[in-house]
Structure 1
Amino acid sequence: MKERKHMKRYGFLWKREILLSVCILALGAMAAALTDEFLQFGNLVNILNNNAIYGILGVGMTLIMATGNIDISVGAQFAVSGICTAKLAVWLEEAGQDPLWLLVLAALGTGMVLGASNGLLVIFLRLPSVIVTLGTLSVIRGGLYLVTEGAWMTYLPRWYTSVSNISWMGIRLVTGVWFLVLVFMMVFFRFFKLGRVILAVGNNQEYAKRIGVFVPGVCFISFILWGAVIGIAAFFFVAQIGTIQPSAGNGYEMTLIAAVIIGGNKLNGGTFKALGTSIGILLLGLIGNILVLTKVPMYWQNLATGIVIISAIVVSMLADRGNQREI
């Protein structure tokens, strides 16, 4: 009884967002002690800006994993959306046109078509989404290299790349879009029926079917929404970098899945903690920033990041046990 009261009193300490925030503060304090550059305003803003693309994608990955699915073809879809957007931008420039809104629609449309394709394959093949998207990952990457012959898309029009220069107090537009996507998805899952239905499907598909939910339709819509998020991220990535290559987005899936798990979401679905995922993205970005500032060699950076990811997942498991005891 005493243990139960103790857990209720201090249960807030087990909340994933609180744990991750404490980790970020601790790392920040350590970094400030190691280098004076860390606390400079420009550096702190850069941490946000440099991780905004991951942040947008992280919110979308949280959405698709809430349904109980995992999409490991995200990087390939990201590359296709980016290349299609870049090619359209070049074509419009040659035609003397500069409709930025058309590029936004192209990025969104490409992402949604690819997302819908994955959704249909998962539904009709009735195979785990990991297996299906592993196949589409190979198909999309292979197709990209065949079509582009491995060439980079460069010399993009200024009216497109200048989007990346829009900022307020150093905070870029893409970072603001990350925040908007995060807020929209949190409101969507909290107040909209479809959001609650997605969570119901992720929790228990059989029960969802019994209460009248058309599970394949929910899965299909979720993949389309996920594709739209990928398209948004690709649009800003190309504008920011000013170029795009067929290998763009390679390895994104592992970082995103790790951030989703670190954020307190379950691998088998039924949870949507996009705020936790976003804080997890910031945690990983902070680690990379600290290692760069302290001039740690790249191979040590990868090792350190991997160790922190594993440690964070272990802490997440302990936190889940703490929450179960509280209940």
Structure 2
Amino acid sequence: MTSAPPLPSLERRPTAGSVARSAMGEAGTGVALLALVAVFTLAAPKFATAGNLTNIATEITLNTMLAVGLTFVILVGGIDLSVGSVMALSAVVAADLLTRKDLSVTTAVALAVLVAVAVGMGCGLVNGFVSERWRVPSFIVTLGMLNVARGAALEYTNAKTRYDFPQGFSRFGTSTLLGIPSLFWIALVMVAVGHLVLTRTVFGRLVFAIGSNEEAVRLSGHRTSVVKVAVFVIAGFAVGIAAITYMARLNIASPILGGGYELSAIAAVVIGGASLSGGKGSMIGTLLGACLLGVLTNGLLLMGVSDFQRQMITGGVIMVAVVIDHYRDRLAARLG
């Protein structure tokens, strides 16, 4: 009688193929980003100015935050289409606390942040639990949550926009630190923490392992369902922070905000080298993907390209990124 083959260990070193895929994903996005910067610097004289670079950092902040959370979800082979609507719901609920006159500014801001994060994480928990408990594809579950959260936001506010937040809160949204928008520093911290979690913790190794071979992870004694629910909760946390960031930056909370944000965030993750089938990607790649999209949008705007044309070009870039990812996988497989 032959013995069963040993189960894969989560502690083993990455294979040459996995290292190559990650390196090529980040390097490819980085080279494309530098090329875009060079092109727009030559084609649009105002592109490389300090003021415009600050604008780019501000513009990509929200997308980076949402993409950080979605990176965890995509790495396990899931998807979350509800982040834009959940961000709107988190924002309008938190806005009620920010506009209360019986609370000090510090207390109101602290409670608003906690509530926004709680709403985001709660919606993420529902997404993950329903998907795992009844084995429903996350695409379908989060599509449902997209409509539930949007409807809840409209019902909660009676379709009205909230505004008139404390001056200190709004002032922080437009402040800078070392010449960089303060809100973008928060996004960078989220990227750094996400990177450490994925590369330095057992949870991070489980996320990659589940995306690569969930059945092997389950047979080795790990509760894959817990990890898969947890990544949706993490995505919800990122959505809550993004909601507060939106409010601080624009001084409003609208029940219709966030439309299409999920597609931009998913695009940033994919352009950064992640695979929609799971098991491959990185936070550094996600950041580079968000930067590339931000630079592309800003540069095209400065060159006078219309909104419709920018959408077409951005969509084409995403399609090219997916095709490149296919051939990158084949090349990395040969190295593995």
Q: What is the TM-score normalised by the length of structure 1? A: 0.91
Alpha-carbon offset, residue 60 of structure 1: 0.8
Instruction: Report 1:252-291 matches (<5 A).
Output: 252-291=261-300
Alpha-carbon offset, residue 15 of structure 1: 0.9
Rounded Cα–Cα distance in structure 2 between residues aligned with 1:12 and 1:215: 24
Instruction: Report 1:246-325 matches (<5 A).
Output: 246-325=255-334
Rounded Cα–Cα distance in structure 2 between residues aligned with 1:145 and 1:193: 40
Alpha-carbon offset, residue 13 of structure 1: 11
Cα distance, 1:232–1:126 mapped onto 2, change above 3 Å = same
Cα distance, 1:311–1:212 mapped onto 2, change above 3 Å = same
Rounded Cα–Cα distance in structure 2 between residues aligned with 1:287 and 1:166: 24
Rounded Cα–Cα distance in structure 2 between residues aligned with 1:63 and 1:288: 25
Contact 1:84/1:106 (8 A) holds in 2: yes
Please state if 1:229 is matched with 2:213.
Answer: no
Runs of 4+ aligned structure 1 residues displaced above 6 Å come to: 11-14
Q: Secondary structure at the match of 2:253?
A: coil
Q: Which residue of 2 aligns with 1:3?
A: none
Rounded Cα–Cα distance in structure 2 between residues aligned with 1:78 and 1:188: 23
Contact 1:13/1:19 (8 A) holds in 2: no
Instruction: Report 1:177-256 matches (<5 A).
Output: 177-256=186-265
Q: Which residue of 1 aligns with 2:39?
A: 30
Which is further off, 199-208 or 231-240?
Answer: 199-208
Q: Secondary structure at the match of 1:51?
A: helix
Please state if 1:97 is matched with 2:71.
Answer: no
Rounded Cα–Cα distance in structure 2 between residues aligned with 1:120 and 1:259: 26
Contact 1:64/1:222 (8 A) holds in 2: yes
Tell me the C-alpha RMSD between the 2 structures. 1.9
Rounded Cα–Cα distance in structure 2 between residues aligned with 1:97 and 1:143: 28
Contact 1:108/1:228 (8 A) holds in 2: yes
Cα distance, 1:163–1:13 mapped onto 2, change above 3 Å = closer
Cα distance, 1:128–1:15 mapped onto 2, change above 3 Å = same
Letter in 1 for 2:308: Y
Letter in 2 for 1:95: D
Cα distance, 1:289–1:210 mapped onto 2, change above 3 Å = same
Contact 2:89/2:152 (8 A) holds in 1: no
Q: Which residue of 1 aligns with 2:127?
A: 118
Q: Which residue of 1 aligns with 2:91?
A: 82
Alpha-carbon offset, residue 246 of structure 1: 1.1
Alpha-carbon offset, residue 256 of structure 1: 1.4
Aligned length: 317
Alpha-carbon offset, residue 96 of structure 1: 4.2
Alpha-carbon offset, residue 196 of structure 1: 1.2
Contact 2:169/2:248 (8 A) holds in 1: yes
Rounded Cα–Cα distance in structure 2 between residues aligned with 1:27 and 1:195: 32
Instruction: Please list the CA deviations of residues 164-217 of structure 1 after superposition, one character each: whole Å capped at 9, or x if unmatched.
Output: 133123311111111111111111111111111222222222111111111221
Rounded Cα–Cα distance in structure 2 between residues aligned with 1:51 and 1:208: 35
Q: Which consecutive residues of structure 1, in runs of 5 or more, have no partner in the other structure?
A: 1-6
Contact 1:14/1:322 (8 A) holds in 2: no
Rounded Cα–Cα distance in structure 2 between residues aligned with 1:180 and 1:14: 22
Letter in 1 for 2:213: N
Alpha-carbon offset, residue 294 of structure 1: 0.9
Q: Which residue of 2 aligns with 1:109?
A: 118
Contact 2:21/2:280 (8 A) holds in 1: no
Q: Which residue of 2 aligns with 1:61?
A: 70
Letter in 1 for 2:159: G
Cα distance, 1:274–1:30 mapped onto 2, change above 3 Å = same
Contact 2:21/2:329 (8 A) holds in 1: no
Taking only the aligned residue pairs, the percentage that are identical comes to 32
Q: Which consecutive residues of structure 2, in runs of 5 or more, have no partner in the other structure?
A: 1-15
1:168 aligns with one of 170, 177, 181: 177
